[in-house]
Structure 1
Amino acid sequence: MSEPRKPFFKMRYLLIFIAIFLLNFIQLPYYYSQPGIAQELEDVISVEGTNGIEEGGFMLTTIELAKATPMYYAWSFFSSYRHIIPEEQVRGADETDSDYHERQSLLMSNSQEMAKIAAYEHADADVTYEYHGVLITTLMEGMPAVEKLEVGDLVTAINGEPVHTAEDLLDLLSGYAEDDQVELLIVRDGETIEVELGFSEFPEEYNVEDGRVGLGILSPITDRDVTYSPNVTIDETEIGGPSAGLMYSLEIYNQLVPEDITHGYLIAGTGTINDEGIVGPIGGASQKVVAADKAGAVYFFAPNVGGGQGETNYEEAKAAAEDIGTEMQVIPVESLEDALLFLEELSDQES
């Protein structure tokens, strides 16, 4: 009678455990993304004295993002709606997980503020402002700003010109050559500091046209106190980033005006927004179409502006809708006004 081969079986189970561990827990220098959720906003946003008659609903859409493991990496090859993204395209070289999540939260907070302003301005509701300057949220590696500026710095003037908004900052930094210098007035830890900076060409990975120069300030945020009447609140959410701006604006606007602009339809979408109601590009448009379709949306608003690889978010979303065979209609928009004009033409959905 032969002896039991216990050592062999133990070694086999050990190897299986090691393989599972390597496939599921070893992190690669990539991020993995896939379609996320479509979340209705009526229960998230509250305007005092809301009309309370929303028969349909506006939905933000998301993608799920996580550090890639070998298992995720392999899994991405089985669907065109699962993406692998190089780590440097998601966060800076010296940015920790905590820094990244804090930046995403800040971008979401700023997006909500701009969405409120755009909606209130379009609805002729009362909104007032007190400006403080522009916050630095991200600095590009290899650019001049990273040497002298810090995340959290508040820029208040450039060459003596006051800076109130992020648009002011970008306008005042445009049109310079590589051998030019500018002087920034910043507030850091309560102290006002003058900083002199030069310009350089952007790193190749940022896909900026040849010859264009800058300081290396990315995603600046307007720092201001804004008062709304009637008051509006948006519940805290774990969703980060600025891409829900358009849909926030539409829900807020719908609660401000007397009629229900959903006309009984579930309407999803994506797109950043500024306080003038201009819609900007986002990432993951095709994945968000999948999320919206699963949630039963009838219409999907997509920014008709560049989304990467030379195509607009609308073109990307339209191709995805055709690929998955959804009956949901993808609607191109460049502004909040475009979305409102489309909604005005809708007839009420039959019960």
Structure 2
Amino acid sequence: MRKKIFIRSLVFFIALILVAGSFVYLPYYVSKPGMAKELKPIIKVEDGYKEQGNFMLTTVRMGRANIYSYMYAKLSKYQEIYPLDEIRAEDESEEAYNVRQLYLMSSSKSNAIEVAFKKAGIPIKYDYNGVYVLNVLPDMPADGKLKPGDRIYQVDGKEFNSTEQFIQNISKKKEGDRVKLAFDRNNKKKDITLSLKRFEDNHTKKVGVGISLVDDKELEVSPKVSVQTDDIGGPSAGLMFSLEIYNQLTKTDYTKGYQIAGTGTISPNGTVGPIGGIEQKIIAADKSGAEIFFAPNENGSKKSNYQDAVKTAKDIGTDMKIIPVDTFADALNYLKTLKAK
């Protein structure tokens, strides 16, 4: 009887440890292949033109590692383990990280619209609303006072339009001077006065309140564009957004009936930037039936996303064509040479 009780207790204890292991997070992130998602249902250009094929964004699944996901990733060829400080900035909270990722996605949408409309020769109107706080540095005046996602729209009672103007206002002051900031948090207007402090690792003696910023600007375009990405974060879909928007703006269908995936950030001038997880995105695109994949070329670097993509494609034996691109124009020029299905 005692032996049975001991065995049951031991089994229960082991089971408890196994369950608890799922909730013990390690200082790592694990990424794995995500999905390739058609952009037609996500992006709508008012009265836009139809297309026979599809442009697709690609994603990776990223999450904090527990004991089991860490061990599985160690044994998996196409799962990657990243130390915490490679994903999140030093002392960056989970909340701040999520805010940053969602803003980067928002910025990616804005840049893609700008690139597509410029290429189509359609005018754009810009509305500047201040700057967003992306991150707050520890042990600086804003620490505990401002939060990621706050929108600052006034400095010392004066409105400004951009990060550059904000910095210009602050640079006129010296350490110990006070600055009054008006900001919006969750649609509630607030203001705060902070003393300026010199950045510890800055040899130029610049002062500030200890925040990293990005412009809060809105584009007014006609026809209207809506991009519904829900909770997808990050900037890596920028290139594919711009191609989908441009395709709906123009009579020519640049998909030409193909399933076209890809990745890469997009800047307002059309430059395509590198991203993380290219190997996992190749796998996601192949599983979704993509025939063509655009990969950032990084100006021909031997360690570019494109080179990693080619290696992975060969490794998994896909027939998908991997196309190197440095700019939006590179991708568009390639599509122009395609024969329609």
TM-score of the superposition, structure 1-length normalised? 0.79
The residue type equivalent to 1:75 in the other structure is Y
Q: State the partner residue of 2:130.
A: 133
> For the residues of structure 2 that align with 1:249 and 1:336, how far apart are their CA atoms?
8
Write the distance in 2 (CA, Å) between the matches of 1:181 and 1:266. Answer: 58
Would you say 1:15 and 2:13 are equivalent positions?
A: yes
| Equivalence map 1:234-249=2 (5 Å) | 234-249=227-242
The answer for the alignment partner of 1:24 in structure 2 is 22
1:142-291 aligned within 5 A? 151-152=148-149, 164-165=161-162, 168=164, 187-188=182-183, 189=189, 191=191, 196=196, 198-199=198-199, 201=201, 220-291=213-284
Q: Once the 2 structures are TM-superposed, how far is the Cα of residue 111 of structure 1 from its aligned partner? A: 1.3
Partner of 2:309: 317
Partner of 1:348: 340
| C-alpha contact (below 8 Å) 1:33/1:82 kept by paired residues | yes
C-alpha separation in 2, matches of 1:182 and 1:63:
45
137-146 or 335-344, larger mean C-alpha shift: 137-146
Counterpart pick for 2:100 among 103, 107, 116:
103
Q: CA deviation at 1:251?
A: 0.5
Which residue in the other structure is 1:207 paired with?
Answer: none
**Closer, same or farther in 2 for the Cα pair 1:90/1:134, shift >3 Å?**
same
Matched positions, count: 328
Contact persistence 1:200–1:214 (CA under 8 A): no
Deviation string for 1:28-85 (max 9, x for gaps)? Answer: 1111110100000001111111112x11101101110111111111101222311111
Distance 1:45 1:96, change over 3 A: same
SS at match of 1:29: strand
- In structure 2, what is the Cα distance between the partners aligned to 1:150 and 1:16? 42
Task: State the Cα distance separating 1:186 from its structure 2 match.
Answer: 5.5
Match of 2:110 in 1: 113
Deviations 1:282-329 (A, max 9, x none): 1111111111111111111111229x9x82222222222122221112
- Correspondence 1:38 to 2:31: no
Question: Which SS does the other structure have where 2:270 is aligned?
Answer: coil
- How much does 1:198 deviate? 3.9
Change (3 A) 1:72 1:194: closer
Cα deviation digits, residues 119-153 of structure 1 (max 9, x gap): 11111123211223332312455889869975346
**Maintained 8 Å contact 1:92/1:141:** no
Q: Distance in 2 between matches of 1:21 and 1:134?
A: 44
Q: 2:117–2:246: 8 Å Cα contact kept in structure 1?
A: yes
Change (3 A) 1:228 1:296: same
Out of 55, 58, 61, the residue aligned to residue 61 of structure 1 is 58
Cα distance change on mapping 1:73 and 1:128 into 2, 3 Å:
same
Report the secondary structure of 2:106's partner residue: helix
Contact 1:59-1:247 at 8 Å conserved across structures: yes
Given that residues 243 and 271 in structure 1 are in contact (C-alpha distance below 8 angstroms), is that contact kept between their aligned partners in structure 2? yes
- Structure 2 CA distance for partners of 1:325 and 1:144, relative to 1, 3 Å: farther
Q: Is the 8 A contact 1:47 1:231 kept in 2?
A: yes
Q: CA deviation at 1:277?
A: 1.6
TM-score, scaled relative to structure 2:
0.81
Instruction: Write the mapping of 1:323-342 to structure 2, written as runs, cut at 5 A.
Output: 323-342=315-334
Structure 1 311/187 Cα, relative in aligned 2: closer, same or farther at 3 Å? farther
Q: Which runs of 5+ in 2 are unaligned?
A: 184-188
With over 3 angstroms needed to count, the CA separation of the structure-2 counterparts of 1:224 and 1:87, relative to structure 1, is: same
- Distance, in Å, in 2 between the alignment partners of 1:9 and 1:150 is 52
Percent identity of the aligned residues? 39
Report the Cα distance in structure 1 between the residues aligned to 2:177 and 2:58, rounded to whole angstroms: 40
Cα pair 1:145 1:197 within 8 Å, conserved: no
